[in-house]
A and B are shown apart, each in its own frame.
Chain A
Amino acid sequence: MTLIGLYAFEKRALYEVLLIAVGAGLLGTWIVLRGLAFYTHAVAAAAFPGLVLAAGLGFAPMVGAAGTGALVAAGVGGASARRRAHYDVATALALVGALVAGVVLASNVFHSGAEVDSLLFGSLFALTDLDLVLAGVASVLALLGTVGLGPRWLATGFDATGARALGVRSRVPDLVLLALVAFASVATLAAVGALLATALLVVPAATARLWTNRLLAWQLTSVALTAALGVAGVWLSVRTNAPPGATIAALGGVAFLISALVNESGSLYRRRHA
């Protein structure tokens, strides 16, 4: 514990959530806008067998996670180039396949035991320097992507057919978005694990969307909310001895629920008094 009342491991966890907040908050808005929540969940889950392999064979966990995550991202990206229906089916198959492979590897091959918990739900209080670097890099890349390619991501989502007619024909910007989401999913593993990546990458952005109808305001709110949920989750988990990843996810769920209820009540009130 230090003078300001934070343990060293707690401080490190706070750096992690603050570093990843920019990338997760920004990409979250694109994930919600472009309907990529399912893809995000699948890519993060795909990291699970990679992590089990890395732990079992003794190489860097992030290498394993990035390897299997990239495989799934490339497969889903390739399928989406052909047809939207292929994209959804490919994503579902990847999700199921990754979980099955991870469970078989963990229980029958490496007998990973309790270690599986931290792979699935994160280990925010056992971070390495590499985890912090990855979080920072993911945020910088997300910021660069948003500034440079945001208008194209927006145009394609607004009207895909119309965008092609406008001359927005290159698939590169969309593939960059899929790659950035995959990278950010891997970067959030240390914080929330393979199963709760969407707690940082989707839930805060979906919550912030309920409060604003302007893109820039939404993006800023999403980043701020991701950071706030991360900080509150770390603080609360230390004080209640609860798992940090699950605490952040639970707080995110509560924030979304309250926002949705307030929003719905507001709409109801306006309709009645219109």
Chain B
Amino acid sequence: MIDARGLAIGYRGGPTVLTDVTFSVMPGERVGVLGPNGGGKTTLMRALLGELESRAGTFTIEGRQGTVPQTERSRLDYPVSALDVVLMGALGRGPWWRRPGRAERALAQAALERVGLEDRARETFGELSGGQRQRVLVARALMQDADIVLFDEPFTGLDTPSAARLTALIDALAAEGRSVLVSTHDVGQARAWDHVLCLNGRMIEFGPPEHVLTETVLAETYEHAVIRIPDGWPRGVTQSAGASARA
């Protein structure tokens, strides 16, 4: 469970970049975080992970957190297999001098099976497709046995089948009672989740999609850079300079 009240966040030595954030995520809920690039989505994720300190307000987190970062943040030239990456999820469980053992390897293999990549365990992480890399990172979060899973723009660069597979995984995680927070640019996708949090340097709105995803809120969130695709048109290819959203 996450409960944030009047949160303000900034980077060390820099200005405050996100203010007035109030929202809550209960177990089993999926929350989409929308906002333009630089709007504060990743900043919020980092604060929830304890990497940034809040400058005002409070937040309470109950449960173990797992994170699925943007894969570009990982070193794709690293000589690590998919199994090695999943095993990294076990490192926080023990003291610094203890290495993962046979039991952890079995759990990591099971986590890879869960995301449908059991036959890719030995493959080098950087040689997997973008969608497969995301699923490996989901398996790593499963390895952490996270009650709260934070996804940072997981759909960026994924083709439609990979995105659909990832959406199904997110739904399955929520169905198990985990709280899931997903930052995304896809308004249509966020419409299917339980709550939506709109950010643009401050919280614009939080609530159920039917209340939040209005033209007024989206215009304020994306500073009028929303492109509407008429019903029946293929979705997925819209953009504008700086800020963009698919509606």
Per-position contact with A for B5-48: 1 when CB-CB < 8 Å, else 0?
Answer: 00000000000000000000000000000000000000000100
Pairwise interchain contact A159-B73, C-beta atoms closer than 8 A: yes
Contact of B96 among A150, A154, A173 (CB under 8 A): A173
The answer, yes or no, to whether B79 is at the interface (CB within 8 Å) is: yes
Q: Which of B75-115 contact A (CB under 8 A)?
A: 75, 78-81, 84-85, 87-89, 91-93, 96-97, 99-100
B144 at the interface (CB under 8 A from A): yes
> Known interface pairs A167-B93, A173-B96, A215-B84. Does A159 touch B79 (Cβ–Cβ under 8 Å)?
no
Please name the residue on chain B nearest to A218 by beta carbon: B79
Task: Tell me if B207 counts as interface (CB < 8 A to partner A).
Answer: no
Contact A149 B51 (CB under 8 A): no
- Any A CB within 8 A of the CB of B216: no
Give, as a whole number of angstroms, the nearest-CB distance from B98 to chain A: 8
Q: Is the CB of A158 within 8 A of B80?
A: yes
The digit string for A150-166, where 1 denotes a CB below 8 A from any CB of B, is: 11101101110111111
Check B89–A166 contact: CB distance below 8 A: yes
Q: Does A212 contact B (CB under 8 A)?
A: yes
Q: Does B124 contact A (CB under 8 A)?
A: yes
> When the two chains form the complex, which single residue of B78, B80, B97, B144 contacts A166, counting CB atoms closer than 8 Å?
B144
Q: How far is the CA of A154 from the CA of B69 in the complex (A)?
A: 17
- The answer on a CB contact under 8 Å between A162 and B144 is no
Are B65 and A165 in contact (CB-based, < 8 A)? yes
- Determine whether the beta carbon of A165 is less than 8 Å from that of B67: yes
Give which listed residue, B74, B93, B96, B99, contacts A158 with CB less than 8 A: B74
How many pairs of residues, A versus B, come closer than 8 Å at their CB atoms? 84
User: For A147, what are the chain B residues with a Cβ–Cβ distance below 8 Å?
Assistant: 99
Q: Is B227 an interface residue (CB 8 A)?
A: no
Output the least CB separation between B121 and chain A (Å).
Answer: 13
Structural contact, A152 and B96, CB atoms closer than 8 A: yes
Asked if B49 is at the interface (CB within 8 A of a chain A CB), the reply is yes
Partner of B97, one of A149, A162, A164, A215: A149
Contact A151 B88 (CB under 8 A): yes
Asked whether A172 is an interface residue with its Cβ less than 8 Å from the other chain, the reply is yes
Residues of B within 8 A of A165 (CB): 49-51, 65, 67, 69
Contacts of A166 in B (CB 8 A): 67, 88-89, 91-92, 140, 144
With contacts A151-B99, A167-B91, A215-B80 taken as known, whether A162 is within 8 angstroms of B74 at the C-beta atoms is yes
Least Cβ–Cβ distance between B74 and chain A, in angstroms: 5
Among B80, B88, B97, contact of A148 (Cβ-Cβ < 8 Å): B97
Known: A148-B97, A214-B79. A167 touches B92 (CB 8 A): yes
Count of B interface residues, CB-CB < 8 Å: 30
CA distance A173 to B144 in the complex (A): 20
Q: Which residue of A lies closest to B85 (CB)?
A: A158
Contact of A163 among B80, B87, B88 (CB under 8 A): B88
The contact string, 1 if C-beta is below 8 Å from chain A, for chain B 191-210, is 00000000000000000000
Identity of the chain A residue whose Cβ is nearest the Cβ of B89 in the assembled complex: A166
Expressed in whole angstroms, the Cα–Cα distance for A162 and B152 within the complex equals: 12
- What residues of A have a CB within 8 angstroms of the CB of B124 in the complex? 213-214
Are B89 and A162 in contact, CB atoms less than 8 angstroms apart?
no
B69 touches A161 (CB 8 A): yes
Task: Indicate whether A157 sits within 8 Å of B75 (C-beta atoms), given known contacts A165-B49, A172-B96, A215-B80.
Answer: yes
A179 to B236, CA, bound (A): 51
When distances are taken between beta carbons in the complex, the residues of chain A under 8 Å from B80 are 154, 158, 215
**C-alpha spacing A148/B99, complex, angstroms:** 6
**Is A228 an interface residue when CB atoms closer than 8 A count as contact?**
no
Q: Given that A158-B85, A159-B74, A172-B96 are known contacts, is A151 also in contact with B91, CB under 8 Å in the complex? A: yes
| Contact present for B91 and A155 (CB under 8 Å) | yes
How far is it, in angstroms, between the C-alpha of A78 and the C-alpha of B93 when the chains are bound? 27
Measured in the bound complex, the distance between the Cα atoms of B65 and A5 in whole Å is 64
Bound together, the chains give a CA A163 to CA B91 distance in angstroms of: 9
A168 CB-CB contact with B under 8 Å: yes
Query: Given A154-B80, A165-B49, A165-B67, 13 other A-B contacts at CB below 8 A?
Result: A33-B78, A148-B99, A151-B88, A158-B78, A158-B80, A159-B74, A164-B49, A164-B51, A167-B92, A167-B144, A168-B96, A173-B96, A214-B81
Closest 3 CB pairs of A and B: A167-B92, A170-B96, A155-B88
User: Could you list 28 examples of A-B contacts with CB < 8 Å?
Assistant: A150-B99, A154-B78, A154-B80, A159-B69, A159-B74, A159-B75, A161-B51, A161-B69, A162-B67, A162-B74, A163-B88, A164-B49, A164-B51, A165-B49, A165-B50, A165-B51, A165-B65, A166-B67, A166-B88, A166-B140, A166-B144, A167-B144, A213-B127, A214-B79, A214-B81, A215-B80, A215-B84, A218-B79
